[in-house]
Structure 1
Amino acid sequence: MSRLRTNKPGYFGKGSVETAPAAAEGEGPTRRCTLSVDKLVTQPFEGVDTVYDIILYAARTHGTRNALGWRDILSIVEEEKEVKKLVDGVEVTEVKKWKYFQLSDYKYINFVEVKEAVSEIARGLIELGVTTHDVFNVYAQTSPNWQLMAHACASMSTTIATAYDTLGEAGLTHSLNEPECIGLFTNTELLPTLRNVLAHTPTVKYIIYDGEAKPALLDNIRTIREDIKVYSVDEIRQLGKTKPMEPLEARRPTKDTMACIMYTSGSTGNPKGVSITHANLVASVGAVYTLLGHHLTYEDSYLAYLPLAHVLEYIVEMIMLFVGMPSGYGRVKTLTDASVRNCKGDIRAFRPSIMVGVPAVWETIRKGIISNVNGGGIVKKTVFNGAFVAKKANVPGLAQLADSVVFSSVRAATGGRLRVALSGGAAVSRETQEFLSVALVTLLQGYGMTESCGMCAILPPELMRYDSVGVPVPSIEIKFLDVPDAGYFSSNHPPQGEVCIRGPSVTKGYYKRPDLNEDETIFTKDGWLRTGDVGQWNPDGTLSLIDRLKNLIKLQTGEYIALERLESTYKSCNLVNNICVHASSDAKQPLAIIIPHEQHLRQTLQQNGNKWIADSEADLDVLCKNHKVQELILRECNAMGKKGGFKAMELLQAVILTPDEWTPESGLVTAAQKIQRARIAKKFDYQIKHVYKHQ
């Protein structure tokens, strides 16, 4: 499978070209992908105008081929493990219980069955009384039922609002109240959280769930308010089966119908709801089909596990439905063999050929491979490193040998069929992209935002290079605005500036936020959306992202540093699990708050030259407070920075180590795993002030 060749050399020509000169001083010319020079893409084919048309097209074209796959939980296996930790300086042993899933093989429904299920649910919702003026929330884990509920609403012109399944009670309350949701779909596991907010969400009348719910919990929910009705998704389907088609046919959407209010993950304040129409989504599907359609074949399969409340996963799964590629659903907790019992993990069970992930996923995979190699002894490590060098340099004969003998075992861990992977959501470090492209799979980058239906630019395999997010997707055009304070000008060589986007897949505004929609620092009068990202045009017509305006910090020296760019590189250090780079205007250099990668840190401390630093068996909290460990991690991070060409002012002056994971529940990362910079700075305020006091 990994040998399937779908590249079209020369297909993209110059990548992107200028289609209009600069309209005013302080900005650059407009550029488009070479595939959409004369006209931006608005749809994949004539007659596909709405999301519902995609379901009709898929059923008509792909028929009884497998569409959506899932695994049932057969049992939960509990295991006890002894864990040593220090309490008041005394080592104690605790017994902890760990839960593992035993899962079935993959089961599937085909494209015709998807269409039938969507129709049944839609007719059931109409029978309940859900109207075209209502908003229906989807607060659930990524699964086939998430898709079926969303498409049912789309088919009957009812707007959905999305909510991450990791949302706390405050976030869930906001996502139900702002759009005045009449109901929602959720999972059994999330019903307790929902129960706690229902008293504060007065418009919610209908709750639809999947899974096996305890009758006592359902009864408890029904007693919160008299008008609350609770149904399983199977009950709604049975109800809909018996109802006529005519009321549903009268409710079909148009391209201008609001399909979705997709809430951003909210790194500052309450999340904003992005208003997305059917036309926006269809244009995005058409753009990707135009750009990458020749790479998406019937022989491929896609592993779906990212949150569907995130626009990247939402639009990718819609594209897979359109092209007829089977999507197999997995869970983050069961992706690998290590997290299941008596069965394979989702990746090896499904054996995908295409995967999409955020940088944290690819960092985890890279560090997992390295940890496995380091744990295999000096011979295995030497052979792997030699094979890596040979393949990277494309040494004749040796490169092919390295690929078939050494890296085949790495590929086997992901099912052995993986041939294309895409990273999106944030910048992935060059170190990680290069490592995985050599050892595992060609890792491409993309760039998008909720406001653009997830797609602004994608790097096609034909234009593979590092440090680039690709060419503008064919439904979007891009221009730069100058950023004089930071020295970014469209007249620079290469051209640089704030990225502005315009086109049929770009939203016209935020839900119930006229203050933002009328703000010309976001939406300009001539129809451009200012992204806040700083880009650079490369000679091959591709786009690179080099900064983020809100994360540009002016140091004591008067020079600017870009925090996100620094984090992307420092995060590729094997000793780093997560990182927040911090700087203030009175600082000479940045510092970093770091959660160490525990396994790699312990392996490093066990090496002969490092045994004097600290006891590798010590509690992680103790290691984090050890000054020699802090110096070790600082040294390794700065080595990565120097390797990445950082200037002296971009190197770290200190690190603050913490053993505690950052979670959406703690408020230190968003539901999409983006760091909450201000909250992290507040939590570690004392340590930060101590560092700067002694700089």
Structure 2
Amino acid sequence: MPRPPTLAVLVQWAAGQYGPQPAQRFRRGGGWAELTYAGLWEAVQETGRGLMALGVRPGDRVAVLSETAPAWTRTHFGALAAGAVVVPVYPTAGDEELTWVLADSGASVAVCGTADLAARVTAVRGGLPELRHVVPMDAPPPHGDVPAAELLARSAAVTPADLCAVVYTSGTTGPPKGCCLTHGNFTAVDDASADLVGGGPGDVTYLYLPLAHLLAQLIQLSVFVRGGTLCYFGGRIEDVVAELAEARPTHLPSVPRLFEKVHATVVSSAEASGPDGRARLEAAVRTGLEAAAVRARGEEPAGELLTAWRAADEGVFARVRAAFGGRLKLAITGAAPIAPQTLDFLRACGIALYEGYGMTEATGVITLNHPGGVRPGTVGRPVPGVEVRIAEDGEVLARGPGVFAGYRNAPAATAGVLDADGWLHTGDLGALDADGYLTITGRKKDLIITSGGKNLAPAPVEFAVQQSRWVSRAVLIGDRRPYPVALLTLDAEEVGAWAAREGVDLGGRPARHPAVRELCAEAVKAANATVSRPARIRAFGIVDGDFTVADGTLTPTLKVRRSVIAERYAIEINALYDRK
């Protein structure tokens, strides 16, 4: 069956294909409710006609500010059906960023998920002459006399070359830049990637990632094209793991942190079970990996391996699968590297987790590990239709139908990332192996040049330090300095659990406790052993609390804002050099 040519007609098309099947599953009261594809199309029409009644014209920008929710989806596709362009905005954006995005995009309508968000937009509206309406998401505007046929005509008139979204990158320096993505960009990426990971009627994809992020939007697109069910998380972000057991998804897109926390919880539980608990867990994982390797060859474990695997499955693996709902066929992760030991642990448990790589400027997907094409430690091979090569300076270049046309109102910035031959200069450093699998080694702009002229990529040593359960973040410092040092933040949950097991009184200041510092020192020592001598951390400090989006040290996509951290902790950084 031909797929819809644009996102403007996607839900209408899906309603015709999958009408009575559930499209959305979400919390209502104390339980779960569902909306069919036919019902979703009705809701999308209500929203689209309401926006048209407000005066939204083809090509107008409609900003969407909300946490992930079923109404976000209705608003998204309602705006597209009306011929508008969607501008997703993170609800965590500060007032300065919020104002910039609304002004730069020229949004005429802002749809807000809460009264607080609406109040924030209203407070800055005086500086936004193009913003005509601020409307609540939970109550679509009345559509008055706008006939349904007019909406259908609008959506049918949209072409693949038309602008679909302006998605702002949460830059680590300077204001965000608006990536202009067409309907054709989205459908090309979906065509290239979604069939690699499957899904269809009867499958349930659990979505807790922010729909302001491109990955979540692509997941939403893939689910609806294939007739699956999108299940929205219904509580606080801290409750995601608990809710997974109830939602029982078959597909789970996530950032690495969720999987790493599950792994860390199992390790902590094993350690709490007795002096040999950690050793027993590691033995079980080795058994699980051996069994997984046998199954990858199309065989089944037998003899002593089968006996050992059954014991490990009963004692560990089955409970981990149950924590994810017991039906998980496939999980996808991206946006940041994932700990290799977590990948091994999940593979041993029988959970298929695939790592990919992309960026907003390429409509989210460039490479992907997938069933039939996996190489642990890499981010996979280019998806069909995408070319990847490595420039002389190590930068990853990509070309394909998902690559954007440019940034809104920023021709110079566009020229800086798109060359005359259509290659996107990603800003990431990487390497391709003989089979075409890509490994990302860092960010070009993050390179540190010491006062001795050494060029250091901070990502490898930072990632190595963050393999420690005790460390949440590691940030390497050393530009124009004699050698690198690091600022660390603690994983408060893991450190607290360790202190409780060991009977250590942290005195309310874990970052200052000598025993905690020793744990971090071991993590730094282990990380230093994995990198070249010039890149090794010579001194480190532990920061109280953690870096967050709210305090400006992380972007909404959880990337470190190095310049902010360097300025905010200048005294602590200088003290690290004074110690030497």
Q: Give the C-alpha shift of residue 332 in structure 1.
A: 6.6
Instruction: Provide the TM-score with structure 1 as the length reference.
Output: 0.77
Find the partner of 1:302 among 205, 208, 227: 205
CA distance in 1 between partners of 2:376 and 2:513 (Å): 36
CA distance in 2 between partners of 1:337 and 1:470 (Å): 27
CA distance in 2 between partners of 1:617 and 1:552 (Å): 36
CA distance in 2 between partners of 1:551 and 1:434 (Å): 29
Q: Is the 8 A contact 2:528 2:536 kept in 1?
A: yes
Unaligned regions of 5+ residues in structure 1, if any? 1-44, 75-103, 212-231, 339-344, 484-496
CA distance in 2 between partners of 1:241 and 1:296 (Å): 38
**Identity across aligned pairs (percent)?**
26
CA gap of 1:322–1:641, structure 2 versus 1, over 3 A, is farther
**Alignment length (residue pairs):** 564
Is 1:526 matched up with 2:421? yes
CA distance in 2 between partners of 1:406 and 1:476 (Å): 40
Q: Which residue of 2 aligns with 1:599?
A: 493
Q: Give the C-alpha shift of residue 599 in structure 1.
A: 3.3
Q: Secondary structure at the match of 1:652?
A: coil
CA distance in 1 between partners of 2:538 and 2:345 (Å): 27
CA distance in 2 between partners of 1:240 and 1:176 (Å): 24
Letter paired with 1:117 = A
CA distance in 2 between partners of 1:115 and 1:470 (Å): 36
CA gap of 1:61–1:136, structure 2 versus 1, over 3 A, is same
Find the partner of 2:373 among 463, 466, 469: 463
CA distance in 2 between partners of 1:573 and 1:515 (Å): 41
Is 1:386 matched up with 2:280? no
Higher helix content, 1 or 2: 2
Q: Give the C-alpha shift of residue 557 in structure 1.
A: 5.3
CA gap of 1:240–1:352, structure 2 versus 1, over 3 A, is same
Q: Which residue of 2 aligns with 1:480?
A: 390
Find the partner of 2:56 among 105, 117, 130: 130
Is 1:257 matched up with 2:213? no
Q: Secondary structure at the match of 2:365?
A: coil
CA distance in 2 between partners of 1:687 and 1:334 (Å): 32
Q: Is the 8 A contact 1:169 1:193 kept in 2?
A: yes
Q: Secondary structure at the match of 1:572?
A: coil
Comparing 253-262 and 593-602, the one that deviates more: 593-602
Q: Which residue of 2 aligns with 1:51?
A: 7
Q: Give the C-alpha shift of residue 335 in structure 1.
A: 5.7
Matches within 5 A, 1:248-397: 248-252=151-155, 253-292=158-197, 295-331=198-234, 333=236, 336=239, 345-378=242-275, 380-394=277-291, 395-397=305-307
Q: Which residue of 2 aligns with 1:679?
A: 564
Q: Give the C-alpha shift of residue 402 in structure 1.
A: 1.3
Q: Give the C-alpha shift of residue 290 in structure 1.
A: 4.0
Q: Secondary structure at the match of 2:541?
A: strand
Q: Which residue of 1 aligns with 2:576?
A: 691
Matches within 5 A, 1:137-216: 137-188=63-114, 189-211=116-138
Letter paired with 1:197 = V
CA distance in 2 between partners of 1:576 and 1:476 (Å): 36
CA shift digits 1:440-461 (9 cap, x unpaired): 6222110000011110000012
Q: Give the C-alpha shift of residue 606 in structure 1.
A: 5.8
Letter paired with 1:468 = T
CA gap of 1:145–1:605, structure 2 versus 1, over 3 A, is closer
CA distance in 1 between partners of 2:193 and 2:312 (Å): 33
CA gap of 1:455–1:433, structure 2 versus 1, over 3 A, is same
Letter paired with 1:634 = A
Q: Which residue of 1 aligns with 2:27?
A: 71
Unaligned regions of 5+ residues in structure 2, if any? 292-304
Q: Give the C-alpha shift of residue 47 in structure 1.
A: 5.8
Q: Is the 8 A contact 2:118 2:135 kept in 1?
A: no
Find the partner of 1:616 among 493, 505, 509: 505
CA distance in 1 between partners of 2:289 and 2:534 (Å): 31
Find the partner of 1:416 among 300, 303, 326: 326
Matches within 5 A, 1:553-632: 553-556=448-451, 558-588=453-483, 590-605=484-499, 615-619=504-508, 621=509, 623-627=510-514, 629-632=516-519
Higher relative contact order (CA 8 A, sep 6+): 1
Is 1:60 matched up with 2:16? yes
Q: Is the 8 A contact 1:291 1:474 kept in 2?
A: no
Comparing 108-117 and 370-379, the one that deviates more: 370-379
Q: Is the 8 A contact 1:169 1:196 kept in 2?
A: no
CA gap of 1:626–1:153, structure 2 versus 1, over 3 A, is same
CA distance in 2 between partners of 1:47 and 1:69 (Å): 23
CA shift digits 1:592-650 (9 cap, x unpaired): 21111223324445666xx7xxx43421x2x31245532431222322453xx323333
CA distance in 2 between partners of 1:669 and 1:332 (Å): 23
Larger Cα-atom Rg: 1
Q: Secondary structure at the match of 1:106?
A: strand
CA distance in 2 between partners of 1:190 and 1:505 (Å): 32
CA distance in 1 between partners of 2:499 and 2:47 (Å): 57
Q: What is the RMSD computed on CA atoms of the aligned residues?
A: 2.3
Q: Which residue of 2 aligns with 1:487?
A: none
CA gap of 1:178–1:551, structure 2 versus 1, over 3 A, is same
Q: Is the 8 A contact 1:290 1:474 kept in 2?
A: no
Q: Secondary structure at the match of 2:236?
A: helix
Q: Give the C-alpha shift of residue 210 in structure 1.
A: 3.6
Letter paired with 1:271 = P
Q: Which residue of 2 aligns with 1:3?
A: none
CA distance in 2 between partners of 1:116 and 1:469 (Å): 39
CA gap of 1:527–1:691, structure 2 versus 1, over 3 A, is same
